[in-house]
Amino acid sequence: MDDEFQIPVSLPLDSDGFLRRECPSCEREFKWFSHAEDDENAELVAQYFCPLCGVAAGSDSWWTHAQLEYGFGSASGAIDQAVQDSLADAFKGIKGMKLEPNSSFSLDFETPAALVEPDDMVIVEPPCHPNEPVKVPEASAERAFCLICGAQFAA
């Protein structure tokens, strides 16, 4: 497979527009506000700080287990098709060989059920970056770290 292909995976937001995230360091879940793509208030950063433990990680390392599973599941249908297509191409040039469609070459992934985002957790707003509110479990809402600069604040 030489061609790169992108599979769009849409993740659900809760009714306040927050996306569930999981910290790669403390492995606890929180949510950050999902800005629209053209939102001028969105902070463009290469890394985020965990609101719960304050440890920073790259902006694409915050997937929850459920989101990764869902993403792989959604991608697998497209990958499956691409594998079958390239196998069919490979067999085309060989005389006397015929690849049956839907043969046992199929990787046979299951299509995942859509994710549902419940309205749990409480909103905390860092005074240093009020445009970047986060949602944390109620037990952790008293003190949190700013997603953008890592400053600790009392909510």
Nearer CB in complex with Zn ion: 70/136:
136
Rounded CA separation 152/155 (Å): 10
Smallest separation, CB 43 to Zn ion (Å):
9
Token look-up 């297509």 returns 85
Rounded CA separation 112/67 (Å): 10
Nearer CB in complex with Zn ion: 30/70:
30
Pick the piece of the chain touching Zn ion (CB under 5 A) from 47-55, 62-70, 83-91, 116-124.
47-55
Pick the piece of the chain touching Zn ion (CB under 5 A) from 34-42, 79-87, 105-113, 140-148.
140-148
Rounded CA separation 125/76 (Å): 38
SS3 state of residue 118? coil
For Zn ion, the binding residue among 64, 76, 129, 143 (CB under 5 A) is 129
Nearer CB in complex with Zn ion: 103/130:
130
Please name the residues in contact with 58: beta carbons below 8 A apart, sequence gap of 6 or more: 46, 47
Smallest separation, CB 141 to Zn ion (Å):
15
Nearer CB in complex with Zn ion: 144/148:
148
Residue 151 DSSP class: -
Q: Are 19 and 31 in contact (CB under 8 A)?
A: yes
Pick the piece of the chain touching Zn ion (CB under 5 A) from 43-51, 80-88, 95-103, 105-113.
43-51
By CB under 5 A, the residues from 82 to 101 that bind Zn ion are: none
- Residue 52 near Zn ion by CB under 5 A: yes
- Closest listed residue to residue 51, CA positions, set 69, 71, 33: 33
Q: Are 149 and 49 in contact (CB under 8 A)?
A: yes
Q: Contact positions toward Zn ion, by CB under 5 A?
A: 23, 25-26, 50, 52-53, 126, 128-129, 146, 148-149, 151
